[in-house]
Amino acid sequence: MRKLARKNIFKTKPYMPGKPIEEVKRELGLKNVIKLASNENALPPSGKAVIAAGRAMFTANRYPDGGCFYLKKGLAKRFRVKPTNIIVGNGSDEIIVLALRAFLKSREEVIISKPTFLIYEVASQIAGAKIKFSPLKNFRYDIPKIASLITKKTKLIFIANPDNPTGTYVTGKEVDFLMRRIPKKTIVFFDEAYYEFAKGVKDYPNTMKYLGNKNVIITRSFSKAYSLAGLRVGYGFADSGTVDALNRVREPFNVNSPAQAGALAALKDKKHVEKTLKLVEDGKAYLYGELDSAGIKYIPSVTNFVLVRLGKNAKKIYKKLLKMGVIVREMSPWKLNSFIRVTIGTKIENHKFIRALKSII
């Protein structure tokens, strides 16, 4: 019975994922549908990851290694940290939930920008946090505003960097400004799910430098640059005490064995990530060029997606695109009603999107 449930869980709208391809095919009777709606990687996973995950199926009668020993070892080597500084999650999403579960005490506050990645708000409401919202300024996180909202009760500050859905980023200087103002009892949660796409950007911060001496959790994902969204693997870096607390509140077997094996093999396949970054760079240049020549505005992005301003007809255009077999994201959940968000696809997919968009407007 609904009324027996905790009241908190009805405070936010449930998270609405992008429409699955099969659902659109079924509902609209379409044969060819492309999905540019969930910031996934357009490339299938690295063959090495597929083989490793497949091989792990042979021992799937056994529970997975709850400690993710080999994956942590691989991550530790790559990022020059100790395995005790790493938490692995069922997607980096899970680490957001774990952080709230482990650290938020009653009546404590979290600071969330608005609009940003929706899970911060959903998970914080469920956890019973008092939420302070900081509006974006020119589609960017407003760091001075965030700093001004900190009180004695602030436990967690969520920073999506780069941000979803805007594709913008917080600079190194802004991070330093914020970190100078962080009290000892506040944790800054840097969500770097799109890290690989932005790390070449000149003033994109190196948050890892704060690992030793500040309360930070830095999360990254295998869902984006590594093409493993369907396996659900994310990881986070923090001091060993923080990692210990996070481990105490997770399910003992939160990351399954094909996911652990697939992620480790994907981590080693640097060529796949390079190919992805090239595909995104080329695709973005193509989209920008086409949108510019059609006089359509967009928010320049350091990620694998672009927020495109279509004006008051955005939702109508979204629906027409859907009927033409192109799934993009409509932005009403973020109250960005005059926009759509488009993930960079393959060359063919990007062309199909532009052709469809041009035929509509």
Residues that bind ligand PLP (CB under 6 A): 39, 91-93, 117, 160, 164, 191, 193, 221, 223, 229, 234
Shortest spacing between CB 232 and ligand PLP, in angstroms: 6
With respect to ligand PLP, which residue has the nearer C-beta, 302 or 354?
302
Q: What is the DSSP string of 74-122?
A: HHHHHHT--GGGEEEESSHHHHHHHHHHHHPPTT-EEEEEESS-THHHH
Shortest spacing between CB 8 and ligand PLP, in angstroms: 21
Q: Cis ω on the peptide bond leading into residue 45 (within 30° of 0)?
A: no
Shortest spacing between CB 170 and ligand PLP, in angstroms: 12
With respect to ligand PLP, which residue has the nearer C-beta, 193 or 356?
193
Shortest spacing between CB 213 and ligand PLP, in angstroms: 25
With respect to ligand PLP, which residue has the nearer C-beta, 155 or 341?
341
List the structure tokens of 61: 């009668």
Q: What is the DSSP string of 157-203?
A: EEEESS-TTT-----HHHHHHHHHT--TT-EEEEE-TTHHHHTTSTT
Shortest spacing between CB 289 and ligand PLP, in angstroms: 25
Shortest spacing between CB 190 and ligand PLP, in angstroms: 10
Residue nearest to ligand PLP (CB): 91
Shortest spacing between CB 150 and ligand PLP, in angstroms: 22
Place of tokens 């436990």: 155
With respect to ligand PLP, which residue has the nearer C-beta, 191 or 196?
191
Please tell me the number of Cα atoms within 13 Å of 316 on its side-chain side.
6
With respect to ligand PLP, which residue has the nearer C-beta, 174 or 354?
174
Residue 238 DSSP SS3: coil
With respect to ligand PLP, which residue has the nearer C-beta, 197 or 356?
197
Any bridge partners for residue 306, and if so which?
Answer: 342
Q: How far apart are CA 127 and CA 121, in angstroms?
A: 10
- What is the CB neighbour count within 10 angstroms for residue 126? 17
Q: How far apart are CA 189 and CA 98, in angstroms?
A: 12
With respect to ligand PLP, which residue has the nearer C-beta, 92 or 186?
92
Q: How far apart are CA 250 and CA 94, in angstroms?
A: 9
With respect to ligand PLP, which residue has the nearer C-beta, 24 or 123?
123
Place of tokens 């990687």: 41
Shortest spacing between CB 97 and ligand PLP, in angstroms: 10
Place of tokens 């709230």: 100
